[in-house]
Amino acid sequence: MPSAKNISTAKDVELDETAFGAAFHGPLVHESVRAELNARRQGTHSTKTRGNVRGGGAKPWRQKGTGRARAGSSRSPIWTGGGTIFGPQPRSYTFKVNRKEKRVAFRSALSVHAERGTIAVFDAGSFENPATKAAAKLVGDWGVKGSVLVILTEADRNAALSFRNLKQVRAVIPAEGTGVADLIGAANVLASPAAIDELTARANTRRPASPAEGTGGASKTTTPTHPSASPTDGTSEEA
């Protein structure tokens, strides 16, 4: 059973086996990180081609007789002030990852920290007011090296204000918005009990099955029969 240290009480807290004890799946983690990082890109970069650059409508000089190389426009890409060849254009960097693959990658990222012992829990309710000094003491008592990712819930506002200005803290993010890239990029993870519950729920949540999936994907249909199409015994009744 995977566990995490509660640095507030120096006791171990058991973690969900499914969410924090899964096997690491590198390819799916890579795809999820790529999709998340790509989603952060706006894709609004743009350069002007020779058709977009202002000017260059008139031929600089006649075709023959000047001794110079022929030129048709002063905005040719080989001219100073000309257009750009194969420059970046606006585009979408969206990279699709299936829902089940995202969930497997998310469990893999959580399980890596649980296996390495780089995830810990603390009592966020003890921060009745923002206290950076108390937060620094917690991180110092934990005694870890490297960056610390603090994961909290909306109710842990005082704790968020306490941790956000520490030098060792990589970021303070909500549990519902934590991604695979956030978990993989952090050397250590520190979360509140409520955040652990939220991460566990996200790792185990499945899409509810539709009624058709409950019958193996095939639904039984009945063909309505017209009264005149009722079976007969081969004899006809005469009026």
Confidence of residue 208 (pLDDT cuts 50, 70, 90): low
Q: What is the pLDDT of residues 173-186, one digit of tens each?
A: 999 999 999 999 99
pLDDT digits 0-9 by tens, 34-82: 999 999 999 999 999 999 999 999 999 999 999 999 999 999 999 999 9
The separation between the first and the last C-alpha atoms of the chain, rounded to the nearest angstrom, is: 83
Tell me what pLDDT residue 205 has: 79
Q: How many helices (H) and strands (E) does the chain have?
A: 7, 6
**Which residues does residue 172 pair with via DSSP β-bridges, in sequence order?**
150
Looking at per-residue pLDDT, the higher value among 223 and 170 belongs to 170
Q: CA angle, corner 204, sides to 202 and 206, nearest 5?
A: 90
- How far apart CA 29 and CA 36 sit, in angstroms, is 11
pLDDT digits (tens, 9 = 90+) for 146-164: 999 999 999 999 999 999 9
* Residue 148 · residue 190 · CB < 8 Å: yes
Checking if the pLDDT of 218 tops 50, the result is: no
Domain spans of the chain? 3-43+93-204
- What would the pLDDT profile of 110-140 be if each residue is shown by its tens digit? 999 999 999 999 999 899 999 999 999 999 9
pLDDT at 209: 52
Give dist(CA 185, CA 109) in Å, integer: 10
Mean pLDDT over each residue of the chain, to the nearest integer = 88
With b for 16 or more beta-carbon neighbours within 10 A and e for fewer, the 33-60 pattern comes to: bebbeeeeeeeeeeeeebeebeebeeee
pLDDT band at residue 211, thresholds of 50, 70 and 90?
low
pTM: 0.78
**Strand blocks (E) in the chain:** 3-6, 11-14, 119-121, 148-152, 169-174, 188-191
**pLDDT attached to residue 175:** 95
The DSSP-derived string for 74-121 is TT-TTSTT---SS------------HHHHHHHHHHHHHHHHHHT-EEE
CATH topology of domain 3-43+93-204: Ribosomal Protein L4; Chain: A; (3.40.1370)
The CA–CA distances, whole Å, from 132 to 10, 75, 138, 153, 167 equal 20, 59, 10, 18, 11
Backbone angles phi, psi at 120, to 5 degrees: -140, 165
